Structure 1
Amino acid sequence: MLVEYDSDWPRLFDDAAEALRSAGNPAWTIEHIGSTAVPGMMAKPVIDIAVRLVDQGDLDHHRQGLERGGWRVGSGVRTHVVMLFEQGGARLRIAHFFAPEQWPNAHQRVLRDWLRTHPDDAARYQHAKQEAARRATGRRNYNDAKTAVIQEIMDRARAARGLPAVNVHDKQSHASGNEEARHPEG
């Protein structure tokens, strides 16, 4: 369910980042991504987070601490590990863990930066989210309904950085039955 922008979301992100560093690696670079990171945008009240890993074994080294802290691996994303934090059956946080070489051009970061500086695309994306939420019968239907708009916006954002267009759909196929798949933006 989409809700109006909440001025508490940046504070909730700060709390989540501190919890991740405490349970994981204090050296991690952690950024707020997703719609809750775009001032004024409606969003699901779930804090999306990007974590830049130090090296290849970093997440494996800290995974037990994260799991003790309430995080669990989830998602159908193929390009990087995603961990979820839930409380009382409600998803509150989603952390995307990126290898150092993925970090500069991670879709989630590129899209957030673009939406923060391009209000027309932010409004277009919000409208697509509202339409998707109105018509969706589940998480996958909601995410799939936004794909075309996300792709168009990402193509422009990547071109502005001198990067080629790439398919933003990085989830396992629907046949996998994994309903945890996420788009670059919540």
Structure 2
Amino acid sequence: MPSFEEITRHHDADPSESPWVNGPPGPETVTIVPYDPEWPRRYRALSARIRAALGEAALDVEHIGSTSVEGLAAKDVIDIDLTVADPRDERSYVPALERLGYFLVIREPSFHQHRCLRLTEPRVNLHVFGPDCPEAIRHRMFRDWLRAHPDDRARYERAKRAAVPGGGSVMDYNARKQQVVREIYDRLFRAAGML
């Protein structure tokens, strides 16, 4: 199990490392839509296909991100965390996921060996981490906090909507809402006695 220090540490990208498997993404229009009650059902179907394709290699599959929080407006993109024994061993999971239509877009050795695969239809970001990864723990904690704290859920939605103008890539959008995200993380970590 990671330490509190490992879980509460905010990650800043290593500027010497390009995580993009096929080059950085171009500009993309970010659209925030009202919460869709179909999102959990879509996740369950996606999760079942991932588990069937990977078998025992899928140690855990979790719905994370804004579409996992009832009532929260979001991009119409399902975010999923997949736990495998070793993200570096791409042969043990990438080919099976490619047969489902996923393609590898991010490889980040310096960030817990994070891998991200994308599915185009329906739109999915599939994040791959190893067991007891601090970032996967953070994702679940953030999701659960927003589910239980409507004030922070509303604050996060306002930050998301305010981050849309300005264009650029999804990474630019994420950077514009980062301060609010980190403030919410700090609040939830303090409430959990981790800071």
- Alignment of 1:35 with 2:66, yes or no, is yes
Q: Given the alignment of the two structures, is residue 14 of structure 1 paired with residue 44 of structure 2, yes or no? A: yes
Runs (5+) with no aligned partner, structure 1 = 165-186
Q: Is the 8 A contact 1:24 1:63 kept in 2?
A: no
Q: Distance in 2 between matches of 1:52 and 1:162?
A: 26
SS at match of 1:21: helix
Q: CA deviation at 1:103?
A: 5.9
Q: Distance in 2 between matches of 1:105 and 1:16?
A: 18
* Paired residue type of 2:170: R
Instruction: Please give the per-residue CA displacement for 1:58-98, whole angstroms capped at 9, x wherever unaligned.
Output: 653122111121111113753311111113xxx61111112
Q: State the AA in 1 paired with 2:179.
A: A
Alignment CA distance shift 1:154-1:60 (3 Å): farther
Q: Secondary structure at the match of 2:52?
A: helix
Aligned to 1:170: none
Number of corresponding residues = 161
5 Å matches for 1:95-134?
95-102=126-133, 106-134=137-165
The range that moved more, 51-60 or 149-158, is 51-60
Instruction: Find 1:84's aligned residue among 113, 118, 136.
Output: 118
Partners of 1:123 and 1:154 lie apart in 2 by 15
Deviates more, 1:9-18 or 1:105-114: 105-114
Q: Identity across aligned pairs (percent)?
A: 37
* Deviations 1:131-169 (CA, angstroms, capped at 9, x unpaired): 1113334322211111000010111122223334xxxxx
Q: Using a 3 Å threshold, how does the CA distance of structure 1 residues 144 and 104 change in structure 2: closer, same or farther?
A: closer
1:24 aligns to what SS in structure 2? Answer: helix
Tell me by how many angstroms 1:55 deviates.
Answer: 4.8
Q: Tell me: CA distance 1:117–1:58, structure 2 relative to 1, closer, same or farther (3 Å).
A: farther
Distance between the aligned counterparts of 2:95 and 2:136, measured in 1?
A: 28
Please say if 1:143 is aligned against 2:174. Answer: yes
TM, length-normalised to structure 2: 0.74
Alpha carbons 1:52, 1:97 under 8 Å: kept:
yes
The one-letter code of the counterpart of 1:148 is Q
Task: Find the counterpart in structure 2 of residue 181 from structure 1.
Answer: none
